[in-house]
Amino acid sequence: MPLRPDGLLTHELDPDDPRPQDHCGVFGVWAPGEEASKLTYFGLFALQHRGQESAGIAVSDGNRIMVFKDMGLVSQVFDEATLTALKGDVAVGHTRYSTTGASTWGNAQPTFRPFQGGGLALCHNGNLTNTDELEVLLAERMPDEKVPHKARMDSSSDTAILTALLASDPDLGLEAAAMQTLPLLRGAFCLTFMDERTLYAARDAQGIRPLAIGQLPGGGWVVASETAALDIVGATFVRDVEPGELVVLDGNGIRSRRFAKAKPKHCLFEYVYLSRPDTVLNERRIHNVRVKIGKLLAKECPIDADLVIPTPESGIPAAIGFAAGSQIPYGQGLVRNAYVGRTFIQPSNGMRQMGIRMKLNPLPSVVGGKRIVVVDDSIVRGNTQRQVVAMLRQAGAKEVHVRISAPPVEWPCFYGIDFATRDELIAPNMSIPEIAKAIGADSLGHISLDGLIKATHVPKNDLCRACFDGVYPVGKKDLPLAELKSTSVQKKGK
């Protein structure tokens, strides 16, 4: 079950009110003389927040590729003996949360296909929107008994279709196959893939998901979804993989191929919620951006109060910023139990709040008799905020004002984040005052879209804002028809 960037499960507060669920994390290493599997293991640890359903590593010793993957967290899938057996100096790794394809072992990554007497292993972060079109192309290129349809492949994910497509022409080397295939893909993709001797990385033309390149002290190379994963293996950040770029890493060094013109549309939600606070994205550390978001939120949604508290842990940087911007003292009003994950024993209706109190508990001595501002990162259905507000009132809070460090989430994501459907989202169906009343808050305020963009220091036209404004960087003709039909809900009370 997916974790938040701070390590909490995204369902940990209320299983009926899941947060936007993280997508996947990819990692790759080319490092002669190093234990590539162990470097990848530690890199995946740093990316664990991006997916917890499965984990896998593929490694090559120069002659053959070995793949080991299983369901569960990185620490559950791998142990010392397994990593020692995965010998080699080229590797790719993956942590997965399913956005396309079921959560099964067959859909765990890396995916593998035989290729030119050897193999091809691939890891994918994102979500392709034209898999039906790619399946038609596969059917034309390969006999039915080999790759008939994704429902009868070894995996039902878009990643398996992509891997098969790369391996579909026996007359092309992997670099040439990638240059032929990558321009055909629509949607979001950050890839790390490999053959026996070479590491490859690629990013879609919009650069929706992040992908960074680092260099190891010994001269090897690392590619990862976030710079935090470079830090953990001792790599120095070099640069990002550019939108529309294929990077090739082998004994000849690093070289770049351009398969599409860059049209940057970086995911705005990475700044709000998805990335680790210690990650650097577009030359800005996420923690600093979130503090600035909090300061702007205080300016846009001022309130007279006695104390600012975060919803641990993802609300902390924005709450620090809100306190600084409002000159209201910052404090810890909610205590998180760091050792509680998801429980499969759900409380009865009469014990409903026990579920959230296992994870969060208020400090009456801190909040009692005070006007409280509680800062959180987003609202999906509102159930979690409703319970937090009720808890604070029971602990003696005089007033509870909720401030959110993201604009209202009104549209689904097709590029690798699993939001609730638009029918399930609270924002398209209620006005801000109506939502405040529904969650029991004395007031509710969101940062504006312009304010959020300002905090990132990235031009508005270079950001994907679709979950906030419904403007999708990939044309709607490329989006799943069933999903587009679900976006027709009209907002009430607006």
Cα distances from 41 to residues 130, 169, 459, in angstroms, run 32, 32, 35
Residue 190 is assigned to a ligand binding site = no
24 annotated active-site: yes
Distance from the first to the final alpha carbon of the chain: 35
Q: Where are the beta strands (DSSP E) in 31-153?
A: 54-60, 65-71, 90-96, 111-115, 118-128
E strand or H helix that includes residue 133:
helix 131-141
Yes or no: say if 240 and 212 are a contact pair by the CB < 8 Å rule. Answer: yes
Q: Which residue type does 113 have?
A: R
Residue 413 is assigned to a ligand binding site = yes
E strand or H helix that includes residue 30:
strand 24-30
Residue 376 is assigned to a ligand binding site = yes
CA 70 to CA 169: how far, in whole Å?
A: 29
Residue 107 token pair: 């859909």
Which residue is catalytic, options 24, 123, 190, 301?
Answer: 24
Q: β-pairing, 245-250 with 253-258? A: antiparallel
Residue 301 is assigned to a ligand binding site = no
CA 406 to CA 452: how far, in whole Å?
A: 7
Residue 464 is assigned to a ligand binding site = yes
List the alpha helices (DSSP H) in 316-382. 316-326, 354-357, 364-367
Yes or no: say if 447 and 407 are a contact pair by the CB < 8 Å rule. Answer: yes
Q: Which residue type does 397 have?
A: A
Residue numbers belonging to the annotated binding site for [4Fe-4S] cluster = 267, 413, 464, 467
Residue numbers belonging to the annotated binding site = 267, 314, 376-377, 413, 464, 467
Residue numbers belonging to the annotated binding site for Mg(2+) = 314, 376-377
Q: Which residues are catalytic?
A: 24
